[in-house]
């Protein structure tokens, strides 16, 4: 018999035999591919479709499972299986400062299913490594909320692409089925019957947040999971629109951290306005020149003060008591609730004595408790608003444009096509989109028609526009100039440059630097210390007023209480708790705006102490564009070398291989070369590549002379040797060129006392040539380095007291980047997510290293200033509030009604100190030096007249001078703008033709 309302299951076997699931278990019927967590739900399997559908349990049915006790626990252990740790990110509603963090951390430490956790106070975000086989996310959220009092909401990172639609006919839509490419269709915000969720391919519906309202109807949201390579969002929308003409896109949900920050700011503002409206009449009645013995005034003050106290109780008491009871932590809310409660209680006692005709000398002081609470709430509003603005200021997601100009097919003029405006979420692969002048580029793409200049400062930090032409790449979030462009889409909005950089920055924000641990320890002891000081202040003043001043007990208690309340409230640990994370958050966002991405914020603190910087040569200090200056073919296989290399080097990304392949392709365009197929190719990192001729079966090796054991005279060129069947058949000599500003950056590093080193896989002659040009001493260079050799070089430098930074372009540098104390990757594309480095430079500008060091030092200085300010404020505030200085100066005290300003006065400077970093134009002086240096060092100055804006991309400029046989016009990007268009936009003096190797 199937369990129902009349029949309770008696054992775990009874549950499993009838298809019920235990709490936090995984569906036991794996043959249907179900991976849905059955947290408080039952399930049924459809043998025809192989899908798993859910229905919510009734309260009576849920109690059957809960009553099983040990049987359910035993089942959980059996079904759990091996640990399955997953990354879970939660938003926290109500988190205030570092003191609040202590209770959450202690609660998490008691949950065995959680392995690691990181908490960011400014963003109110918590990251967990959770064993989902042991405990579900829902269980963790429920437990954390019950123990801490805060509201936790999961931030879901959907796997694959998701489209949310609003429909008025969910049944019709469900009956319509799913087109090819759609993997899951569901109604997450609808109270559905047990069959309402249609799951295809094992879509896990429990990973969807249940608190994503955002004023969206809970009965009409349709969420569609799909594979973007198989079907597009616009195709899905048009498919379901045939069944529901009112179908529309759901409003885009705000980012969880920003939405939570806005909600907390609004809630704090409402509390403050309500408290202020009640406080003003009380203050007026207390301070106005009226007859204070009139009992009606006291009645009104009591009523209004009670309303304020109710607001304070709701805001401060629940969280304070939960933290004290469950986590055994004193939070600042506890001191606030205690202080305001005591002030209100004694005001009520004073009111009662006045009613009985025995008024206190101080009279009723309802204004103390009401003004105290109101000013504290004002501080909370400013605090929440500052944190929200800080999070919003460093968010890259605001750079994503909402609408796109979709190019309609069969337009008569492809350069000026017909378009229609669509939501950016409806773009799909294969689309062409138009970029109107002076608009934000909606997503990544490749230009098909047109020319313009694009402001990429929001991605790279470079304020000078970059010229774009046909075949140039454009990136989402950048701003188009005065020209119209038509581009082909290369990335959807959920995977473009803005999304990748935003995700990278947001993930890095959760990592804590070392100084944060010190701040957390201080904040953890702060509240108990202040509570102890407040107790001594109360006792001290009580004894002084009663015995030294010979006052009555009533007067002594009231006066001692006012000093104690002021002491408890005026001190604020929030300044200490926010001193580090606020600066780290702003510094990381500012650095990202200038093209420096900190993947690990801990390195923001370490970078300021760097003593040695090790540079990889090729592609880092040099342009990375090697040109063949000579070739020497020899041996019996000399005639086969070029055809063999055209096949062998076709997909190799090393700069040497690219240089040789480009040289051979140029020759083949003039005189065709027969390509010899190569099979069984394999690349040897740091050495070369090998393969086998498909026809003759001869072994072919191409690479470094040392790897091939070939004796070649050491020259100032980079060498690539080729052996066929063990015999040397060819030697290619290539030349690279140091970057224009590399010498300037090296000189600036030396002025800071930083030692510079250069290592390379090239021969000693080529390394010595570049080192001499840049001013790097020969003992600090090393040639013929393998990837392991680079790692060992860095390891040998890492002696006590030395902090080593390694800078490379990612080619064979991964192990060295990991070994270094700070690994810096000079990015050559928009995809920063694949880098193994701690820090990624979004451009090839070497002066970004100086910006990196400047931001690191500036951030550390601001952290120190924040700590000093927090210490000075709390010391001065406690001395003034406790009345220690009243004997020397009677007015040298802080009254309890004004003590509520403590949070505002202490936190606001911390926020301003951090925000000041956003107002600095980092690297401006380095860019000025770079432009001046480039202007002086301009090769062929008589050939082309340039303006300063033409140097916005040093790497492409150098590549143009090294590679372009037709130096016709400015080409900042990797693609040539069409001559007719370029002649209208750029100043051309004359055409120059020269051979590739002339430089």
CB atoms within 10 A of CB 883: 23
Best CA proximity match to 735, nearest among 629, 842, 581: 629
Place of tokens 């001043």: 549
**Beta-strand relationship, 718-724 and 403-407:** unpaired
∠857-861-866 over CA atoms, to 5°? 150
827 within 8 A of 633, measured Cβ to Cβ? no
Place of tokens 């694959």: 160
Task: List the beta bridge partners of residue 42.
Answer: 55
CA distance 44 to 193: 13
**Beta-strand relationship, 612-616 and 804-808:** parallel
* Per-residue three-class SS string for 180-199: CCEEEEECCCCCCCCCCCEE
DSSP state letter for 913: H
CA distance 738 to 130: 49
Best CA proximity match to 411, nearest among 486, 474, 492, 489: 486
76 within 8 A of 22, measured Cβ to Cβ? yes
The DSSP-derived string for 266-286 is: HHHHHHHHHHHHHHHHHHHHH
Write down the catalytic residue from 37, 333, 520, 616. Answer: 616
Structure tokens at 586: 């702003």
Question: SS3 for 891?
Answer: coil
446 within 8 A of 510, measured Cβ to Cβ? no
Question: SS3 for 122?
Answer: coil
Question: SS3 for 697?
Answer: coil
The DSSP-derived string for 951-974 is: GS-HHHHHHHHHH-SB--S---SS
**Beta-strand relationship, 804-808 and 822-826:** parallel
* Per-residue three-class SS string for 22-64: CCCCECCCHHHCCCCECCCEEEEEECCCCEEEEEECCHHHHHH
Structure tokens at 101: 């963090």
CA distance 477 to 181: 29
Q: Which long-range contacts (CB under 8 A, 24 or more apart) does 452-458 make?
A: 452/480, 452/481, 452/482, 452/483, 452/484, 452/485, 453/481, 453/482, 453/483, 453/949, 453/985, 454/478, 454/479, 454/480, 454/481, 455/479, 455/480, 455/481, 457/593, 458/399, 458/593
Best CA proximity match to 802, nearest among 788, 786, 822: 822
**Beta-strand relationship, 198-199 and 125-131:** unpaired
Best CA proximity match to 683, nearest among 663, 702, 658, 659: 702
CA distance 741 to 744: 5
Please say if 14 is a catalytic residue.
Answer: no
Compute φ and ψ for 118, nearest 5 degrees: -135, 135
Best CA proximity match to 55, nearest among 39, 43, 38: 43
Compute φ and ψ for 532, nearest 5 degrees: -65, -45
Place of tokens 């802080």: 894
Known catalytic residues? 616
């Amino acid at each position: 018999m199937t369990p129902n309302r009349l029949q309770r299951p008696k054992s775990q076997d009874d549950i499993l035999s009838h298809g019920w699931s235990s709490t936090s278990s995984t569906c036991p019927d794996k043959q249907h591919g179900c991976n849905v967590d059955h947290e408080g739900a039952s399930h049924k399997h459809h043998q025809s479709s192989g899908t798993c559908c859910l229905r919510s349990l009734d309260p009576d049915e849920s109690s059957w499972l809960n009553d099983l006790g040990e049987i359910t626990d035993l089942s959980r252990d059996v079904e759990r299986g091996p640990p399955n740790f997953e990354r879970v990110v939660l938003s926290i509603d109500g988190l205030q400062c570092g003191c609040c963090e202590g209770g959450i951390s202690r609660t998490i430490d008691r949950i065995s299913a959680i392995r690691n956790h990181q908490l960011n106070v400014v963003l109110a975000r918590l990251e967990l490594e959770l064993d989902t086989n042991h405990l579900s996310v829902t269980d963790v959220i429920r437990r954390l909320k019950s123990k801490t009092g805060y509201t936790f909401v999961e931030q879901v990172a959907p796997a694959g692409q998701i489209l949310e639609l609003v429909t008025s006919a969910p049944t019709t839509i469900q009956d319509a089925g799913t087109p090819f490419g759609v993997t899951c269709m569901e109604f997450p915000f609808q109270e559905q019957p047990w069959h309402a969720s249609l799951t295809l391919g094992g879509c896990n519906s429990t990973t969807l947040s249940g608190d994503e309202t955002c004023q969206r109807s809970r009965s009409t949201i349709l969420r569609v999971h799909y594979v973007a390579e198989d079907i597009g969002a616009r195709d899905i929308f048009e498919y379901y629109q045939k069944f529901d003409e009112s179908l529309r896109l759901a409003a885009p949900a705000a980012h969880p951290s920003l939405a939570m920050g806005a909600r907390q700011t609004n809630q704090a503002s409402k509390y403050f306005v309500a408290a202020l409206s009640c406080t003003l009449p009380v203050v007026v009645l207390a301070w106005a020149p009226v007859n204070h013995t009139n009992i009606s005034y006291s009645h009104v003050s009591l009523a209004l003060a009670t309303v304020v106290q109710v607001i304070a109780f709701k805001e401060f008491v629940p969280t304070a008591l939960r933290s004290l009871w469950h986590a055994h932590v004193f939070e600042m809310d506890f001191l606030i609730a205690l202080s305001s409660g005591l002030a209100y209680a004694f005001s009520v006692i004073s009111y009662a004595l006045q009613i009985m005709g025995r008024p206190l000398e101080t009279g009723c002081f309802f204004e103390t408790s009401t003004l105290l609470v109101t000013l504290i709430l004002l501080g909370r509003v400013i605090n929440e608003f500052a944190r929200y603005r800080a999070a919003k200021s460093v968010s890259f997601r605001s750079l994503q444009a909402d609408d796109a100009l979709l190019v309609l097919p069969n337009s008569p003029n492809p350069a000026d096509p017909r378009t229609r405006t669509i939501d950016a979420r409806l773009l799909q692969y294969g689309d062409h989109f138009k970029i109107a002048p002076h608009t934000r580029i909606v997503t990544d793409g490749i230009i098909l028609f047109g020319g313009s200049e694009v402001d990429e400062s929001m991605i790279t930090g470079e304020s000078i526009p970059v010229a774009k032409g046909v075949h140039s790449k454009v990136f989402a979030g950048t701003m188009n100039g005065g020209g119209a462009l038509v581009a082909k889409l290369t990335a959807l909005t959920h995977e473009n440059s803005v999304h990748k950089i935003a995700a990278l920055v947001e993930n890095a924000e959760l990592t804590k630097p070392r100084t944060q641990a010190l701040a957390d320890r201080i904040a953890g002891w702060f509240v108990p210390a202040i509570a102890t000081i407040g107790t001594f202040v109360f006792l001290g003043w009580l004894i002084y007023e009663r015995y030294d001043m010979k006052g009555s007990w009533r007067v002594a208690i009231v006066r001692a209480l006012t000093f104690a309340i002021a002491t408890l409230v005026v001190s604020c640990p929030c300044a200490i708790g926010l001193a580090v994370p606020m600066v780290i958050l702003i510094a990381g966002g500012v650095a990202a705006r200038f093209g420096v991405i900190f993947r690990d914020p801990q390195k923001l603190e370490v970078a300021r102490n760097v003593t040695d910087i090790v540079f990889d040569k090729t592609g880092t200090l040099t342009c990375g564009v090697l040109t063949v200056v000579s070739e020497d073919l020899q041996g019996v296989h000399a005639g086969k070398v070029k055809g063999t290399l055209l096949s062998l080097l076709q997909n190799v990304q090393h700069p040497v291989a690219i240089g040789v392949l480009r040289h051979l392709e140029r020759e083949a365009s003039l005189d065709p070369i027969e390509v010899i197929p190569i099979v069984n190719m394999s690349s040897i990192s740091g050495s070369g590549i090998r393969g086998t001729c498909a026809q003759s079966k001869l072994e072919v090796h191409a690479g470094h002379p040392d790897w091939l054991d070939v004796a070649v005279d050491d020259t100032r060129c980079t060498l690539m040797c080729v052996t066929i069947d063990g015999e040397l058949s060819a030697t290619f000599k290539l030349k690279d060129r140091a970057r224009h500003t590399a010498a300037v950056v090296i000189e600036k590093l030396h002025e800071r006392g930083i030692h510079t080193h250069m290592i390379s896989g090239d021969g000693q002659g080529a390394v010595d040539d570049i080192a001499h040009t840049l001013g790097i001493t020969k003992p600090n260079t090393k040639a013929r380095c393998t990837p392991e050799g680079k790692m060992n070089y860095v390891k040998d430098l890492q002696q006590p007291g030395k902090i080593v930074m390694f800078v490379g372009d990612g080619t064979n540098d991964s192990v060295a980047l990991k070994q270094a104390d700070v690994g810096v990757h000079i990015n050559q594309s928009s995809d920063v997510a694949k880098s193994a480095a701690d820090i990624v430079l979004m451009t090839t500008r070497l002066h970004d290293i100086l910006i990196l060091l400047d931001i690191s030092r500036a951030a550390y200085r601001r952290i120190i200033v924040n700590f000093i300010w927090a210490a000075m404020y709390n010391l001065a505030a406690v001395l003034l509030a406790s009345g220690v200085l009243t004997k020397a100066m009677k007015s040298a005290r802080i009254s309890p009604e004004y003590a509520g300003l403590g949070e505002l006065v202490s936190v606001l400077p911390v926020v301003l100190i951090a925000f000041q970093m956003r107002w600095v134009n980092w690297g401006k002086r380095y860019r000025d030096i770079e432009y001046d240096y480039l202007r002086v060092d301009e090769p062929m100055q008589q050939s082309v007249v340039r303006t300063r804006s033409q140097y916005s991309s040093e790497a492409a400029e150098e590549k143009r001078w090294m590679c372009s046989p037709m130096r016709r016009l400015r080409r900042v990007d990797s693609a040539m703008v069409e001559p007719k268009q370029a002649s209208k936009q750029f100043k051309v003096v004359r055409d120059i033709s020269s051979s590739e190797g002339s430089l």
